[in-house]
Structure 1
């Protein structure tokens, strides 16, 4: 009986010692890495940096937007990687989102937030306005990497005193169509 107690005491001591060794080396950092994406039936891949992006438009004077005025353009791009042009040679881009309700804002992207009385215009590389829901002019592709260049600007309501200062956000989704 005494031997059993001694074995149990030694076993308990080993278990406690093992626990204290673990406590002496606590985790020095851990985390999770989640990989996401999609596989598409397309001749090009969209780079991770440009598939979802934020375009900072800056601090825009309400005076510049009065009576249908506009801000300066802010460039952005959609980058395509590893394009193959064996059967497809051009691409169009269609932007969709909540339409602006401002006077003179046909085809503009609506804004949300404290700011009111303006909408976001999206233009192609030539500065031509692309209406929401309407494909851009076709852009020729070449094998390899391609950049689709666009710009955005804020356009004010044509009604006097319609522009209300404040922060805003406008969200547009884009769809590429290859031909």
Structure 2
């Protein structure tokens, strides 16, 4: 009978030693110090735009499929430059980059004969790797509104799934 009491006492001692560990934890943090006029909102950094299902006949007839909007939200915008000697920031330019297809953005997948077009709210078309026309920086928060279209690229059309990845960057001056 003594050995079972010894085991029970040992288990109680072990659970008592483990109890204090329930009252603590850790928090991992990361960040960056940047020299920029605006920060890109976390929800805008990585976006997925569902282009929906487009009938092949619509692209044949209209030359394009559905238009989908997307927004790059900028936050904490300020006009002051990082150093007193530098001029204040007043303008930004966005560059979209990705695989090119005749001045549009190429797609991967089973479908053929299509590419993606990005336009801004003023109708300017983004070309892969080229800067868009400049815009004015507005202090505080601002949304940069764009539209994504599936366009025929003058090749033979073939139905199927497609995907593409387009990167963007902002320059301030």
Secondary structure in structure 2 of the residue aligned to 1:71: strand
Please say if residues 67 and 158 of structure 1, whose CA atoms lie closer than 8 Å, have aligned partners that are also in contact.
Answer: no
Give 5+ residue unaligned stretches, structure 2: 17-25, 81-87
Based on CA coordinates, which of the two structures has the bigger radius of gyration? 1
**How far apart in 1 are the matches of 2:60 and 2:27?**
47
1:151 aligns with 2:147: yes
1:110 aligns with 2:118: no
Tell me the equivalent position of 1:131.
127
Tell me the equivalent position of 1:165.
159
**Aligned residue pairs: how many?**
159
Tell me the equivalent position of 1:90.
91
Please say if residues 82 and 144 of structure 1, whose CA atoms lie closer than 8 Å, have aligned partners that are also in contact.
Answer: yes
Map 1:1-150 onto structure 2 (within 5 A). 6=2, 9-16=4-11, 38-66=32-60, 69-86=63-80, 87-100=88-101, 106-150=102-146
Residues 66 and 149 of structure 1: CA distance in aligned 2, closer, same or farther (over 3 Å): same
Q: Shift of the alpha carbon at 1:19?
A: 7.1
Q: Shift of the alpha carbon at 1:114?
A: 1.4
**How far apart in 1 are the matches of 2:168 and 2:120?**
13
TM score, norm. by length of structure 1: 0.77
Please say if residues 124 and 132 of structure 2, whose CA atoms lie closer than 8 Å, have aligned partners that are also in contact.
Answer: no
Secondary structure in structure 1 of the residue aligned to 2:66: coil
Secondary structure in structure 1 of the residue aligned to 2:65: coil
Secondary structure in structure 2 of the residue aligned to 1:85: coil
**How far apart in 2 are the matches of 1:33 and 1:20?**
25
**How far apart in 2 are the matches of 1:112 and 1:34?**
37
Q: Shift of the alpha carbon at 1:111?
A: 0.5
Q: 1:110-142 CA deviation, whole Å, 9 max, x = no partner?
A: 111111110001111112211111101111111
Residues 154 and 33 of structure 1: CA distance in aligned 2, closer, same or farther (over 3 Å): farther
TM score, norm. by length of structure 2: 0.80
Residues 153 and 41 of structure 1: CA distance in aligned 2, closer, same or farther (over 3 Å): same
**How far apart in 1 are the matches of 2:56 and 2:90?**
43
